[in-house]
Amino acid sequence: MNFLELFRVNISYIIFYTIDFFIILFILQKYVFKKINTILEDREKKIKESIENSKIIEAQKAEMERIYREKMVETQKESEKLISEAKKTAELIKKEIIDNANDESKKIVEETKKDIQKIHDQMYLQIKKEITDLLVITISKVLKDTIDEKDHEKIINKSIKMIKNERG
């Protein structure tokens, strides 16, 4: 028994199927595989471009992050500088306000002292005048009979001169 007979294989079928296979393979090769190949190549190109674009985007992202961090550091330094300047300005304004308040209080104290001295001087003069008037009245009552009007006027003028001398 023969190998072909054993499996019931017909040679004509094998030849026919082989030819049929090569014809189909040729048709597929000529029309379908080229299109599939073109589609696969296009797909490969798109995938490569996508990978390249993602690398570019990743590099741009890294650059943007670096710029962002630099800007944040710069902004932080700037804000610290502004805060420091604001504190210095506030201190200067505070010192100026305190100095102005001190100057104003010193002026008020000086004016008050002058007012007190003025009132004191006025009271002193008034008391002196009253004492002089009382003395004159007392002396004139005591000496009324012995001093005439001319002497009386001399005594008054002399008292006024003494008061002026003590004032000046």
Q: Over the Cα atoms of the chain, what is R_g? A: 63
Q: Angle between the 34-142 and 149-167 helix axes, to the nearest 10 degrees?
A: 150
As a whole-number percent, the residues of the chain with pLDDT over 70 amount to: 88
* pLDDT tens-place string over residues 42-53: 999 999 999 999
Question: Alpha-carbon distance 140 to 153, whole Å?
Answer: 11
Residue with tokens 């090569």: 22
Question: For residues 139 and 95, which has the higher predicted lDDT (pLDDT)?
Answer: 95
Closest CA to 129 of 101, 107, 159, 94: 159
Q: Using 50, 70 and 90 to split pLDDT, how confident is the model at 167? A: low
Q: Cα 132 from chain centroid?
A: 72
Domains of the chain, residue spans: 3-167
* pLDDT tens-place string over residues 19-70: 999 999 888 888 888 888 888 999 999 999 999 999 999 999 999 999 999 9
Whether 144 has a pLDDT exceeding 70, the answer reads no
The type of residue at 128 is K
pLDDT of residue 6: 63
Q: What is the pTM of this model?
A: 0.41
